[in-house]
Copies of this chain bind each other. A is one copy, B any other.
């Protein structure tokens, strides 16, 4: 160890101050003893009791005086050196630094010298260009009722079964002599289960190298977009569309081309027009239940869009976030089951069970998945393989399938009940089209009833209702919201619609 600094004068005095009274350690405090010594020494410097260039007592002597362990003193001195208050001089001991730390006297335990609420980082960093809030502030009021944008009812989910599996595996792992190997693409068990699950539920044929487990559909979108888009790329999305996906594309610097989505879904002819004008890198598509409008893409347009992708050579990020909820007919199969070499398929188990389950997936050509795995690793190393295994067990036992069958009936009924309730109580206020499936109703309020006002009033009555601004953009004002019906029972629907009536 090199000691770069030496006292300039020889007349430094070893302090034999009454440190036993000056530095008092309160063992009741949760602050570590050595930090209390640090606090004490700094206070003594600040108060002028000890001064620049002064020599500190040796660690043994200080320990004796302050009646603390010598190790505590060593730790305190090290810290004081690190902070710049003390300087260690080989074979001489510790001296108060001649140049006290920048900013003068630091007071430990006073937040003003630490990170503070309004603090600013000194160097420059990226300010992401967005003025959008994910949620209005009224969300913070801790409402007793929420209109979510399409969550399942986690109260109905077989979480006890999932947790039983989880705990069993956790215990196994802990008594096991075998080390746990965590795999970045997701647990082998879940990926194996998914090869048959994807085939059986949605006609997607995929091998292990085609599947990546992620921390939710959002991460799949983020990763897919990061690989497909560069600054200046063009991506097509539906309008109105999924704002959070659009935030990703904006963040990546892509140009977003918004194509109107009508009651048959996104307009294929306008997509073709855009392809004539721009080199399209990707299309972000939600064919099954377009977000936010819940519309299902018509078979003709599905076919046409696949042809356009082929002709103009771009990939489709197919977001199938709430596959499995279909009330009047069987679900359509994903585009991924038809044109796998054009489609990056994105899904999630958050809607199948509970939004607290943060497991999603991506299915794509294996060369794409390889890159996606790499990116996923540098973003978060790995997920929770034990939870993934537990989910696989629920799929294999048929519990997930039975659950989905059960809640499909319940959610279908809630959809009908909400539609009837809106027709009855808010006939002249809202308009909507009954969706074939999904977990929400796209509910458009007449312009004479601005959602912003309703949202504000409702928050005072304990109801969170989105003010709809997340769906707006520079040239579109919808005054509409997604009215999640799956997570609320009939009584809750009654209460919610009742509050809305009182807010008009």
Q: Are the CB atoms of A125 and B371 closer together than 8 Å?
A: yes
Q: At the interface, yes or no: A453 with Cβ under 8 Å from chain B?
A: no
A487 to B74, CA, bound (A): 29
Q: Are the CB atoms of A367 and B206 closer together than 8 Å?
A: no
Count A-side interface residues using an 8 Å CB cutoff.
Answer: 142
Name the B residues within 8 Å of A106 (CB-CB).
338
Stretch at the interface among A139-147, A408-416, A424-432, A473-481: A139-147
Expressed in whole angstroms, the minimum distance between the Cβ of A103 and any Cβ of chain B is 9
Instruction: Known contacts A32-B330, A123-B342, A226-B126; decide if A114 and B281 are in contact (CB<8 Å).
Output: no
A333 to B1, CA, bound (A): 19
Q: Are the CB atoms of B365 and A119 closer together than 8 Å?
A: yes
Residues of chain A in range 360-395 having any CB-CB distance to chain B below 8 Å: 363-368, 371, 374-375, 377-386
Name the B residues within 8 Å of A142 (CB-CB).
181
Q: Are the CB atoms of A123 and B380 closer together than 8 Å?
A: no
Question: Can you report 14 residue pairs joining A to B where beta carbons are below 8 Å apart?
Answer: A1-B264, A74-B329, A78-B329, A81-B299, A83-B303, A108-B203, A111-B207, A119-B365, A120-B365, A121-B368, A130-B374, A134-B377, A154-B174, A159-B174
Instruction: Known contacts A174-B154, A205-B114, A344-B121; decide if A196 and B30 are in contact (CB<8 Å).
Output: yes
Q: At the interface, yes or no: A215 with Cβ under 8 Å from chain B?
A: yes
Q: What 1/0 mask marks residues of chain A from 219 to 255 whose CB sits below 8 Å from any chain B CB?
A: 1001000111010000000000000100110010000
A32 to B165, CA, bound (A): 27
User: Copies of this chain, how many?
Assistant: 2
Q: At the interface, yes or no: A502 with Cβ under 8 Å from chain B?
A: no
Q: Are the CB atoms of B128 and A375 closer together than 8 Å?
A: yes
A264 to B217, CA, bound (A): 44
Q: Are the CB atoms of A181 and B139 closer together than 8 Å?
A: yes
Residue picked from A110, A204, A340, most chain B C-beta under 10 Å: A340
Residue of B nearest to A169 (CB): B356
Q: Are the CB atoms of B244 and A378 closer together than 8 Å?
A: yes
Q: At the interface, yes or no: A277 with Cβ under 8 Å from chain B?
A: no
Q: At the interface, yes or no: A102 with Cβ under 8 Å from chain B?
A: yes
Name the B residues within 8 Å of A72 (CB-CB).
330
Stretch at the interface among A20-28, A309-317, A440-448: A309-317
Q: Are the CB atoms of B207 and A386 closer together than 8 Å?
A: no
- Given A30-B200, A126-B228; 20 other pairs, CB 8 A cutoff: A31-B199, A74-B329, A82-B333, A83-B338, A110-B205, A120-B365, A121-B364, A121-B365, A123-B228, A123-B315, A126-B227, A134-B184, A146-B179, A163-B170, A244-B378, A244-B381, A247-B378, A356-B386, A358-B380, A358-B383
Q: At the interface, yes or no: A127 with Cβ under 8 Å from chain B?
A: yes
Q: Are the CB atoms of A248 and B218 closer together than 8 Å?
A: no
Name the B residues within 8 Å of A344 (CB-CB).
121
A109 to B210, CA, bound (A): 16
Q: Are the CB atoms of A120 and B329 closer together than 8 Å?
A: no
Q: At the interface, yes or no: A300 with Cβ under 8 Å from chain B?
A: yes
Instruction: Known contacts A74-B329, A78-B299; decide if A248 and B378 are in contact (CB<8 Å).
Output: yes
Task: Name the 7 nearest CB pairs between A and B, nearest first.
Answer: A114-B205, A75-B330, A115-B210, A121-B365, A81-B299, A146-B179, A115-B206
A109 to B196, CA, bound (A): 10
A146 to B451, CA, bound (A): 58
Q: At the interface, yes or no: A35 with Cβ under 8 Å from chain B?
A: yes
Q: At the interface, yes or no: A355 with Cβ under 8 Å from chain B?
A: yes
Residue of B nearest to A97 (CB): B303
Q: Are the CB atoms of A116 and B228 closer together than 8 Å?
A: no
Residue of B nearest to A177 (CB): B144
Name the B residues within 8 Å of A184 (CB-CB).
134
